[in-house]
Chain A
Amino acid sequence: MQHRPKHLPRLVLALAVTGILSAHAETGTEDRLSAMELRLNSLESENRALKDQVKQTEQKVEATGTQMERIASQDSSTNAATSFGGYGELHLNKLKNQKAGGTNKDELDLHRFVIFMGHEFSEQIRFFSELEVEHAVTKDTAAGSSGVVGVEQAYLDFTVSDALSVKAGMMVMPVGIISETHEPPTFYGVERNPVETNIIPTTWREGGLMLTTRLSDAITFDAMVTSGLATTAAKNYAVRDGRLSGASAKAKDAAYTARLKWASIPGVELAATAQQQTDITQSSDTTAGAATLYEAHAVVNKGAFGLRALYAAWNLDGSGPKSVGADKQNGWYVEPAWKFTEQWGVFARRSTWDNRAGGATDTRYRQTDIGVNFWPHHDVVVKLDYQNQRSPSGVDEYDGFNLGLGYQF
């Protein structure tokens, strides 16, 4: 009888089980690998799809940005082509009248409230305007109201080339320093200086045509044809009282203005203006006639130091102006300033002016101002100054303090 190992069946059984298990294990690994491979392929496709989506999104964002910029640059009806701004000033005057029996000036006044509006029709044609309310309130009756609503500027500017532009409409005259740039944060003193107020006379606007040529980077020449002044004998031919401000203004006798401006050194401006009024009463006074204005000024702003100096003089033809000494009207001022920080600046100003300088008697005004400007923001200013005036005998002479608040935007 053949001997059979005692444990053989168990061994065979164990090997068979192991084989089966092993076969199962191999099958499981392959399945898992296949599943992982499928999953990887799927993730790879998703990743590709996501990358495509990101790329498409970037392209869409770029296209949207481009389109928005295109619309903004081309559509002149959008706000981008129309701009608004403004300035204003509130004044407190505490001035003692030195004339015997004269009335003191203790007054709080919203002197000016101005809105700018501009519009760019095209790269070559632009509109500029300023609408002003003076002294806060105006009524439809003359009594009890010192207020004025006026169009200070409204003109079209045609840019012909880099060297030439033509303006047409109502414009401030290119004379003096603060006529064209009169926003309160840009100058010292609560009130505008008396020489440019009474002699030039700022703010002075007329309707007409102006040609500006830039002769070089530093030299600009302006030529202007406008309506003229219309002063009267009743006002002693004072030029300030001759402003018609475009309110159905008489346009019989025109005025011709030329200005040469030099600004070759940063911070320095020199300019001179000449004007011919063909008849300063608009032919309403046969004893008056033509008039000529000459003006020259210098502005220096180097670092903290500032200096303004201006001289202006009128010559009026005719026996009428001569009879009251108004054939010569002139004045000058010098104003050094020191801006010792970005927020604080001090100034002093000496002014003298005379609207009847052709007469034998002393009719000259003299005024000294000292004061401080504080800019809490570069477009907001608080001003305080002291004025000492010496007037001709028998007229108001104001000494005292002025406090002002101004802004621009």
Chain B
Amino acid sequence: MAHLRMLILLALAFPAWGADQEAEITRFLGETFGKPPAAETLWLAGDLQPAVRGILEHDYPAARVRYWRAGTRSAWVLNEIGKEMPITVGIVIKDGVIERVKVLVYRESRGWEVKSPVFTAQFSGAKLNSGKKLDKQIDGISGATLSVRALNRLTRLALLLDRHANTGGKP
């Protein structure tokens, strides 16, 4: 019982609950742009829909995606389920190349290591190859295979959407 009391006291010693999603997105955009530009919207319609399905192996769970663009840099906030829960990820792209990946909200019970900057730094410099896959090898995390795979899919999706937004849908 003494051990149980200690665990509860330790838990209460941490004042803040887990971060709120909108606050995390605002922080991410601030880190990316300083003063973020107005959000734009990309509808996942027409030819884009099958292309998105080709990457995710299912439809994206929204009809449109918000993104922010300044010059040739764009920032995307996307969700994908790892094992059981959606992971919210912020992705920055510059000139068609991944500049930064940040896990904004991680809801899975295990595999928190995917939030580590050491892990997400692997995505920097990656771009899409002709098969719409990343042109870089990403080393995984033991016990977080599905979360790693979800991040891989989201970065590919962000690169695809960025390309689509820049060309106005023309290939």
Which residues from chain A sit less than 8 Å from chain B, CB to CB?
Answer: 62, 65, 68-69, 72, 80, 83, 85, 116, 118, 120, 123-124, 126, 128, 155, 157-167, 177, 180-181, 186, 209, 211-212, 214, 217-218, 220, 223, 225, 256, 263-267, 269, 299, 301-303, 378, 408
Contacts and interface: CB of A to CB of B under 8 A. Distances in A.
Interface of B: 3-4, 7, 10-11, 14, 16-21, 41, 61-64, 81, 83-85, 105, 107, 109-110, 112-113, 115-119, 122, 137-143, 145-146, 149
A80 B113 contact: no
Contacts of B110: 180-181
Given A85-B84, A118-B85, A161-B17, 19 more contacts: A69-B62, A80-B61, A116-B84, A120-B85, A123-B107, A155-B109, A159-B17, A161-B16, A162-B18, A181-B110, A211-B7, A212-B112, A217-B113, A217-B117, A220-B113, A266-B138, A266-B141, A267-B139, A302-B139
B53 to A, nearest CB: 15
Nearest to B62: A69
B7 A264 contact: no
A120 B86 CA distance: 10
22 contacts: A62-B41, A72-B61, A72-B62, A83-B81, A83-B85, A116-B83, A118-B84, A123-B105, A126-B85, A155-B109, A157-B109, A159-B17, A161-B14, A164-B10, A165-B109, A167-B109, A181-B143, A218-B113, A223-B7, A263-B142, A264-B118, A267-B140
Contact of A266 (B63, B105, B139, B143): B139
A181 B146 CA distance: 10
Contacts of A163: 14
Contact of B83 (A85, A177, A223, A269): A85
Given A120-B85, A180-B143, A160 B109 contact: no
Contacts, number: 117
B107 A120 contact: yes
Contacts of B63: 65, 68
Contacts of A83: 81, 84-85
Contacts of A62: 41
A225 B118 CA distance: 31
A266 B7 contact: no
Contact of B7 (A123, A177, A180, A209): A209
B43 to A, nearest CB: 9
Nearest to B7: A211
A123 B18 contact: yes
Contacts of A186: 145
Contacts of B119: 266
- Which of A158, A212, A267 lies at the interface centre, i.e. has the most chain B CB atoms within 10 A of its CB? A267
A256 B3 contact: yes
B11 A217 contact: no
A217 B143 contact: no
Contact of A128 (B84, B115, B138): B84
A128 to B, nearest CB: 5
Nearest to A300: B142
A124 B17 contact: yes
B60 to A, nearest CB: 12
Nearest to B110: A180
A181 B142 contact: yes
Nearest to A262: B113
Contacts of A217: 113, 115-118
B9 to A, nearest CB: 11
B64 A269 contact: no
Nearest to A164: B14
B137 A220 contact: no
Contact of B14 (A155, A160, A408): A160
A137 B156 CA distance: 43
A408 B85 CA distance: 15
A162 B64 CA distance: 29
B113 A263 contact: yes
Nearest to B119: A266
Contacts of A116: 83-84
Given A157-B109, A180-B110, A162 B141 contact: no
A256 B4 CA distance: 11
Contacts of B117: 217
A232 B151 CA distance: 47
A218 B85 contact: no
B140 A160 contact: no
B7 A124 contact: no
A48 to B, nearest CB: 25
A162 B20 CA distance: 11
Contacts of A265: 118
A209 B1 CA distance: 12
A163 B115 CA distance: 11
6 pairs of A and B residues whose beta carbons are closest in the complex:
A267-B139, A159-B18, A118-B84, A217-B116, A299-B142, A266-B139
Interface centre among B3, B41, B62, B142 (most CB of A within 10 A): B142
B106 to A, nearest CB: 9
A225 B149 CA distance: 32
Contacts of A299: 142
A209 B5 CA distance: 11
